[in-house]
Structure 1
Amino acid sequence: MVSYADPSSVEWVESGGGPLIAIPEVVLPFWTGADGDELASDYDRACEVEGLTGLLPVGNATALVLGDEPAATAYLPEHTTFVRWFAGESERELLAEVPAALDTAAWGREVHWQVPGAVILFDAAWPGEESTKTGHLRIPLAPGRYAVRATHAEPGPETWLGLVQLRLLGR
């Protein structure tokens, strides 16, 4: 079990103002970010996602967009959950509230995401091939189909967070 007393125990990814996106590593070269030559770039497509999450085709796979608002985001493998930091006095206090928030969450609609393996979480404005040159997280997911559900949680008066939980359904 991870102790959240050490601030370096969790890595956070931030965006420049737009959504974060988790793209399967094998299709990163197909994501053009804000650099697209077409009328609507890949970044524009990500910005059009309404709600807390959405799925977008990328190459022969699908990416998960973490929408709603830009927020520092970490992945907690022990909960298979992305945690989005909307408000909180400290990282330690925010992370300490995650288990209770997961237990009492009012989850939104569930979507299913087919994942071929590891995904890279980064700012959707970056082209996929440059994503590892900036703030990013590599998340070693097992290949398979995942149920994805999301919610906003306010486990304390000064603590607000977003949760995006993944549940492996099968391979």
Structure 2
Amino acid sequence: MARYADPGLVDWVESGGGPLVVVPAAVLNLWEGADSEGPESDYDRACAVSGYARLLAVGPAQALVLGDEPSSTAFLPEHAVFVRWVAAESEADLLGGVGAALADAAWEDRQVWDVPGPVVLFDSAWPGSEVEPDNHTRVDLPAGRYEVRAALAHSDADTAFQLIQLLPLR
């Protein structure tokens, strides 16, 4: 069974072992990763997060920490969802189950995220000022308030993934 993403249908972001983080581009340079000076680094704060997704302060904004496991993660704009690879035989098997899972998910970890505009998904150990083309994904979110909700989904006995969906609030 494949544990990590294969190149193919979408761009996956990998972690070196810690959580992934989604930081607004407007405050990206404020995320210091594991390089923070002080008693607790941004990476330490991200590692302390429990659950599938939690918000952390980054300057005047908030970052979304994708917790639980350091799973390969992609953003699917057609569903406004981060999908996190837990287990699947192939990328196609995993992605093929997302649509039905969104309709049937047992959503939890609901919270409201004020987003000032585009965000960047990357390994929380990296400083935001050092993201490079091959270690992150930019998501062009419109500025606004979003309900963040998370769920663990199984599309069959061999395929499991986490969903972190962003729903615009009016």
TM-score range, shorter chain: over 0.9
- Tell me, what secondary structure is at the counterpart of 2:131? helix
* Corresponding residue for residue 13 of structure 1: 13
**One-letter identity of the residue aligned with 1:117:** G
User: Identity across aligned pairs (percent)?
Assistant: 55
Q: Does 1:127 align with 2:139?
A: no
Contact 2:56–2:63 under 8 Å retained in 1 = yes
- Which residue number in structure 2 is paired with residue 31 of structure 1? 31
Contact kept in structure 1, 2:8 and 2:91, CA below 8 Å: no
How far off its partner does 1:133 sit? 5.0
Matched, 1:47 2:47: yes
Letter of the 2:119 counterpart: V
Alignment coverage as a number of residue pairs: 164
User: How big is the shift at 1:132?
Assistant: 2.8
Structure 1: tracts of 5 or more residues without a match: 1-6
Letter of the 1:50 partner, please give it. Answer: S
Residue matched to 2:91: 91
Question: What do you get for the CA RMSD once the two structures are aligned?
Answer: 1.0
Task: Please report how far the alpha carbon of residue 84 of structure 1 lies from its aligned counterpart in structure 2 after TM superposition.
Answer: 0.2
Are residues 18 and 92 of structure 1, via their aligned partners in 2, closer, same or farther at CA, if it must alter by over 3 Å?
same
User: How far, CA to CA, are the matches of 1:132 and 1:114 in structure 2?
Assistant: 25
Provide the residue aligned with 1:22 in structure 2. 22
List per-residue Cα deviations over 1:128-162 (Å, max 9, x = no partner): 00023541000000000000000111111000100
Instruction: Give the gaps of 5 or more residues in structure 2.
Output: 1-6
> Segments of 4+ in structure 1 off by > 6 A?
none
| Alignment check: 8 A CA contact 2:121 2:138 kept | yes
* Partner amino acid, structure 1, of 2:141: L
Contact 2:23 2:63 in 1 (8 A): yes
Deviation at 1:100, TM superposition (A): 1.0
Partner SS state of residue 8, structure 1: coil
- Structure-1 separation of matches of 2:51 and 2:8: 30
Instruction: Give the TM-score normalised by structure 1.
Output: 0.93
Deviation at 1:8, TM superposition (A): 3.4
- Please state if 1:74 is matched with 2:74: yes
- The 3-state SS of whatever aligns with 1:132 is coil
Residue 109 of structure 1: how far off its partner (Å): 3.2
TM-score of the superposed pair, with normalisation by structure 2: 0.94
